[in-house]
Amino acid sequence: MNTGVRSTDRIALLPVEEHQRRQRRADSTCPQLWDALDSVKDPEIPVISIWELGVLQDVELREGAVIVTITPTYSGCPAMGVMAEDVVIALREAGYSNTEVVTRLAPAWSTSWIMDEAQEALREYGIAPPGRSCAGEHAEICCPQCGSSNVHSVSEFGSTACKALYKCDDCSEPFDRFKPI
């Protein structure tokens, strides 16, 4: 029986926590709140929202207060304070002045929570995403500038704790790579 699926095709699986996060948004009784928070960008990577990054976990309306739950990419991430402030500002601009931002550490954030569109946005911004970043190649890390897989690690610490510094041996450009965790 021909199912149309080649044996080399891969089926992407979502971790259960990511599936649950997406389901919370899909089943939400207050989609306007989620939509308002789509404008909140990661302050260190302003081309992706905290939803696309997987940081925004839940939004609830309880007794007139908006409760927003976020999870840091790394324990002690310095951007969390800015993200929380930006959440409050975005909701205030949408007409919700009573907001509480809750930081949840478990389950721990994972790069598998970064949405596919955000991975592409990272690449276009000049950051190698944490997954396979070479189109049509099996190399794990490719230069986001020229696409070459001829790269080497310069430092395990890039511009932020969640990124490592690499250099392309073909175009000579340095670039950050989001560390896969």
**4-31, pLDDT tens digit by residue?**
544 445 555 778 999 999 999 999 999 9
pTM beyond 0.95: the answer is no
Q: How many angstroms separate the Cα of 161 from the Cα of each of 72, 83, 91, 104?
A: 12, 16, 28, 19
Domain boundaries, the chain: 16-112, 126-178
What type of residue is 135? A
Q: What is the CATH number of domain 16-112?
A: 3.30.300.130
Q: What confidence tier does 158 reach under pLDDT thresholds 50, 70, 90?
A: confident
Give burial (CB, 10 Å; 0-12/13-18/19+) of 112.
Answer: middle
What type of residue is 14? L
Is pLDDT of 172 > 90? yes
What are the start-end ranges of the E strands in 81-169?
Answer: 99-103, 127-128, 151-155, 163-168
Q: What confidence tier does 133 reach under pLDDT thresholds 50, 70, 90?
A: low
According to the per-residue pLDDT averaged within each range, which of 2-6, 52-56, 127-131 is highest? 52-56
Task: Give the mean pLDDT of 49-72.
Answer: 96
The residue with tokens 């891969």 is 10
Q: Kindly give, in sequence order, each residue whose CB lies less than 8 Å from that of residue 61, ignoring residues fewer than 6 positions away.
A: 29, 30, 33, 67
The confidence score (pLDDT) of residue 134 equals: 65
The confidence score (pLDDT) of residue 132 equals: 63
Q: What confidence tier does 181 reach under pLDDT thresholds 50, 70, 90?
A: confident
Task: Give the mean pLDDT of 108-118.
Answer: 92
The confidence score (pLDDT) of residue 106 equals: 92
Task: Give the mean pLDDT of 54-79.
Answer: 93
C-alpha angle with apex 38: 35 to 42, nearest 5 degrees? Answer: 160
Q: CA 75 to CA 106: how far, in whole Å?
A: 11
163-173 exposure pattern, b = at least 16 Cβ within 10 A, e = fewer: bbebebeeeee
